Copies of this chain bind each other. A is one copy, B any other.
Amino acid sequence: MIKVAVLGYGNIGSGVVQVLLKNKETIAKKAGDEIVPACVLDLRDFPGDVMEDKVVKDINLITQNPEISIVVETMGGTKPAYAFVKACLEAGKHVATSNKELVAAHGPELLEIAKAHHVSFLFEASVGGGIPIIRPLVSSITSDAVTEITGILNGTTNYMLTKMSEDGLDYDAVLEDAQERGYAERNPAADVEGHDARRKIAILSSLAFGKYVDYEDVYTEGITKITSADFAYAKILGSRIKLFGTSKKKEYGSISAMVCPVMITNEHPLFAVNDVMNAILVRGESMGDLMFYGAGAGKLPTASAVVADVVNAARNPKITEIEPYEPGKMTVSDHLKSTHSYFVRVKGSDANAVAESFKAKQIVDAGIADEFGLITAEWAENEFDALCENYPVVSVIRLAK
C-alpha cells in the first residue's frame, strides 16, 4: 500500500482525493499497488468530509512520516508551497504538484533536489490542466529537435475571446460573464494580463529546450485592450483572436518567447480551440506538427493529471522521471527584434497612403467610421513601433502562422 499526503485541500486537492478513491481499482492496476490518500495538510477543518479525521496542521507530521512516500502539492503560490515541497523532497518523498507559480519560479532547484534525493518532482498538472503535455515532452518528444512550442494555455481568456467573437460582446461584458460562471477570479489580472500563460509557456519552453526559461524574461501582453471592433475586422478576415504563449528556437542556443493576443486564420492548427479548452502545438524538425488538446482547467481534469503523476511515481519509485535542466538560464532574445506581420487599425480615411508606409498586403473596411484596418508586411517590432509613431494608430494585433 502506497500512502499519499495532500498539501492544500481546496478545489484541486479535494479532486485528487476524489479521483484516488473513485478510480481506486484502475489506479491500483496501473501502479502495481494500492494508493491511498493518507492525510491532508490544511489550516481549515473539514467536518463531514471523507478526510475529516485525516487533516494535519503541521508539515513535519508529513516529512517525518516514513510511511508517506508521495506528496501532492495543490496549495498554489510559492509561500509556503516552496518550503514545504523542498522539505518533502529532502525527506526522500516524491512530489507531484499542480502549482505553476512554484514550478515557474523554483523548478530548476526543485528538480536538482529531487535528483539528489533519488525521487521525482512532477508537475503534469501545472500546464494544460488535464492535457498530458509535460510527460510527452519529457518522454515522447525525445528524438527530435523541437523548433517551436505554441499554446492556448489559459482557459479563462480563451473563453472570453470566444464569447467576444461569437456574441459580439465587449470586453467588460464577457469578463463579467466569465466571473459569474466562476471561470475568472474577482481580481482577474493573472488571467487577463497574461501572467498565467507566461508562467506556463516558460515551463513548457524549459522542458522543450532543456534549459530554464525564466518567466520574467517572457515579454507579455494580456487581452485587456482587445475590443469588439477588433473582432469586427477579424470576422471579415475569416480570422480569430487568441491569446498565444509561444517560444521558438533561435540560433546560438537562445529562444524567442512571448505571450500576446494574435490573429490567426483557419489554416492555423489552433484555430478550432474554443471556449475554456486549451491546446499545445509542438513543432519538430522531423516529426512535424503535433497538437495536444483538452480541458485546460477544472477540478477533475487537473486532479486526474496530478494522480497520473502519483501513479508514475508509485510504479517507478527509483527513477527521477524529469531530469534537471542544463545549468544556467536560457537566453531569451529581445522581442523588439522579432518579426511579425500585424493587423493594425488607423484613424482617418486615407488608407492607401498609410498602407504604402506599412507595406500593407491588405486594406480592411469593417464599416467603422473614420478608421480602417491594414494587414502589414513583416516588420521587426522596433521598426514597426517607430512607424506607428507617425500615424493615429488605434490598435495593433500580431499575426501568427
**Residues of chain B contacted by A293 (CB below 8 angstroms):** 269, 289-293
Q: Determine whether the beta carbon of A287 is less than 8 Å from that of B301.
A: yes
Closest residue of chain B to A300 (Cβ to Cβ) is: B286
**Residues of chain B contacted by A311 (CB below 8 angstroms):** 142-143
Q: CB within 8 Å of B: which of A116-173?
A: 124, 130-132, 135-136, 139-145
Q: Is A61 an interface residue (CB 8 A)?
A: no
**Residues of chain B contacted by A307 (CB below 8 angstroms):** 142-144
**Residues of chain B contacted by A136 (CB below 8 angstroms):** 132, 135-136, 140
Please measure, in the bound complex, the distance between the C-alpha atom of A23 and the C-alpha atom of B295, giving whole angstroms. Answer: 33
Q: Determine whether the beta carbon of B288 is less than 8 Å from that of A291.
A: no
In the complex, per-residue mask of A250-276: 1 if CB is within 8 Å of any chain B CB, else 0:
000000000000000000010110000
Q: CB within 8 Å of B: which of A20-72?
A: 20, 22-23, 26-27, 29-32
CB distance from A27 to the nearest CB of B (A): 6
Q: Determine whether the beta carbon of B130 is less than 8 Å from that of A287.
A: yes
Please measure, in the bound complex, the distance between the C-alpha atom of A312 and the C-alpha atom of B312, giving whole angstroms. Answer: 14
CB distance from A301 to the nearest CB of B (A): 5
Q: Is A223 an interface residue (CB 8 A)?
A: no
Q: Is A298 an interface residue (CB 8 A)?
A: yes
**Residues of chain B contacted by A142 (CB below 8 angstroms):** 26-27, 30-31, 307-308, 311-312
Q: Determine whether the beta carbon of B294 is less than 8 Å from that of A290.
A: yes
Please measure, in the bound complex, the distance between the C-alpha atom of A291 and the C-alpha atom of B304, giving whole angstroms. Answer: 16
Q: Determine whether the beta carbon of A312 is less than 8 Å from that of B144.
A: no
Please measure, in the bound complex, the distance between the C-alpha atom of A145 and the C-alpha atom of B28, giving whole angstroms. Answer: 12
Please measure, in the bound complex, the distance between the C-alpha atom of A32 and the C-alpha atom of B23, giving whole angstroms. Answer: 35
Q: Is A316 an interface residue (CB 8 A)?
A: yes
CB distance from A333 to the nearest CB of B (A): 21
CB distance from A210 to the nearest CB of B (A): 7
**Residues of chain B contacted by A306 (CB below 8 angstroms):** 143
* Contact A290:B145 (CB < 8 A) given known A140-B308, A272-B272: no
**Residues of chain B contacted by A32 (CB below 8 angstroms):** 323
Q: Is A7 an interface residue (CB 8 A)?
A: no
Q: Determine whether the beta carbon of A139 is less than 8 Å from that of B312.
A: yes
CB distance from A217 to the nearest CB of B (A): 22
* Contact A145:B26 (CB < 8 A) given known A140-B124, A140-B135, A269-B293: yes
Contact of A288 among B23, B287, B295 (CB under 8 A): B295
Q: Determine whether the beta carbon of A301 is less than 8 Å from that of B286.
A: yes
CB distance from A73 to the nearest CB of B (A): 16
Closest residue of chain B to A135 (Cβ to Cβ) is: B140
Closest residue of chain B to A319 (Cβ to Cβ) is: B316
Please measure, in the bound complex, the distance between the C-alpha atom of A316 and the C-alpha atom of B131, giving whole angstroms. Answer: 24
Q: Determine whether the beta carbon of A287 is less than 8 Å from that of B316.
A: no
Q: Is A19 an interface residue (CB 8 A)?
A: yes
Q: Is A75 an interface residue (CB 8 A)?
A: no
Q: Determine whether the beta carbon of A290 is less than 8 Å from that of B30.
A: no
Contact of A144 among B19, B143, B145, B272 (CB under 8 A): B19
**Residues of chain B contacted by A88 (CB below 8 angstroms):** none
Contact of A286 among B271, B290, B303 (CB under 8 A): B303
Q: Determine whether the beta carbon of B289 is less than 8 Å from that of A294.
A: yes
Q: Determine whether the beta carbon of A288 is less than 8 Å from that of B284.
A: no
What are 15 A-B interface contacts by the 8 Å CB criterion?
A19-B144, A23-B285, A131-B290, A132-B136, A135-B139, A143-B310, A143-B311, A287-B300, A287-B301, A287-B304, A287-B305, A291-B291, A292-B293, A316-B316, A316-B319
20 new A-B contacts, CB < 8 A, other than A142-B312, A287-B294, A288-B294, are A19-B144, A20-B143, A22-B285, A23-B145, A23-B285, A30-B142, A130-B288, A131-B290, A136-B136, A140-B308, A272-B272, A284-B304, A286-B300, A286-B301, A287-B301, A287-B304, A288-B300, A289-B293, A289-B295, A290-B292
